[in-house]
Amino acid sequence: MILTIGSLKGGCSKSTLTVNVAAELARLGKKVTVVDADPIASTTNWVADREERSPDLPAVIGVQKKGNLRATLLDLEASADFVIVDTGGYDSQELRTAATASDLLIVPMKASPLDLDTLPKFVKVVEGIMDFNAELEVRGLFTQASTHAMDKRLDESRDILSDYPEIPLFDTTIYQRSSYMDVMPVGRGVVEWSDSKAKAEIQVLVQEMINLG
Ligand SMILES: Nc1ncnc2c1ncn2[C@@H]1O[C@H](COP(=O)(O)OP(=O)(O)OP(=O)(O)O)[C@@H](O)[C@H]1O
Ligand SMILES: [Mg+2]
């Protein structure tokens, strides 16, 4: 299964999701390759940190690639259970070519109305991709949601998404938790850490993804 994580926004948790989903799939015994298509290389750094600082954990293979990803992804899929592509926070050849080869396009969005301004443009990008890959499943995912009970931004964001049937939401929401920041430099996922709430949300998310495959 090939998953692309894409958005026209920076900082919406693409790399955080890539590595946390990879760690959970690896924990489940799956062969996982992550493809870093963002020159910032957060995912590549995580793979290197994992090898160096957490060598006893299940391996995740890392590949860096720019330009047209389609053939590379189809090739990598032959030797992995899951290929996960982390893209940059902008419209790119990498995002579009990866999505044409993917089973699932995951669209992370910060759970705040102000962060949803690129959605109309993103829907156009998705429509263009689906001309080449009509089978593509697309799912939105709210990230960095506030854990404060009084905060209404998640509800407001869900309301806005109801106007975009092209991007149905995962049931799972990812909340703002310091463990997501803490695990990155040691090459771990939150499923390999002590925060049971973060672990549970990633595990439920991964089950949702597997069920789509
Ligand atoms: N659920 C979360 N809770 C707390 N912090 C988070 C969460 N998700 C991401 N972050 C933090 O937010 C910042 C941006 O996250 P990340 O790098 O994953 O986003 P990105 O979409 O990959 O960004 P870019 O577009 O720059 O590649 C990082 O400092 C990360 O540690
Ligand atoms: Mg990133």
Ligand 1 midpoint to CA 7 (Å) = 13
Q: Is 70 in the pocket of ligand 1 (CB under 6 A)?
A: no
Q: Is 43 in the pocket of ligand 1 (CB under 6 A)?
A: no
Please state the atom number of ligand 1 nearest to the C-alpha of residue 40. Answer: 27
Cα angle 172, 175, 178 (rounded to 5 degrees) comes to: 140
Cα angle 171, 175, 178 (rounded to 5 degrees) comes to: 150
Residue 202: in which H helix or E strand, if any? helix 196-212
The pLDDT assigned to 89 comes to: 96
Q: Is 160 in the pocket of ligand 1 (CB under 6 A)?
A: no
Q: Whose CA is nearest to atom 13 of ligand 1?
A: 11
Let me know: does 206 contact 30? Beta carbons within 8 Å: no
Residue 32: in which H helix or E strand, if any? strand 32-36
Domain range for 108: 2-212
Domain containing 59 — which CATH number?
A: 3.40.50.300
Rg (CA), the chain: 16
Q: Whose CA is nearest to atom 11 of ligand 1?
A: 181
Residue 213 pLDDT more than 90?
no
Please count the structural domains in the chain.
1
User: Which residues 6+ apart lie within 8 Å of 188 measured at CB?
Assistant: 23, 50, 54, 57
Structure tokens at 45: 């750094």
Distance CA 45, CA 70 (A): 23
How many of the other CB atoms lie within 10 Å of CB of 134?
7
Q: What is the pLDDT of residues 142-180, one digit of tens each?
A: 999 999 999 999 999 999 999 999 999 999 999 999 999
Q: What is the pLDDT of residues 57-87, one digit of tens each?
A: 999 999 999 999 999 999 999 999 999 999 9
Residue to substitute in 8, 12, 13 for testing ligand 1 pocket (most ligand atoms within 8 angstroms of CB): 13
Q: Whose CA is nearest to atom 29 of ligand 1?
A: 181
Q: What is the pLDDT of residues 175-209, one digit of tens each?
A: 999 999 999 999 999 999 999 999 999 999 999 99
Q: What is the mean predicted confidence (pLDDT) over 123-133?
A: 97
The pLDDT assigned to 199 comes to: 98
Q: Is 10 in the pocket of ligand 1 (CB under 6 A)?
A: yes
Q: What is the pLDDT of residues 17-58, one digit of tens each?
A: 999 999 999 999 999 999 999 999 999 999 999 999 999 999
Q: Is 21 in the pocket of ligand 1 (CB under 6 A)?
A: no
Residue 118 pLDDT more than 90?
yes
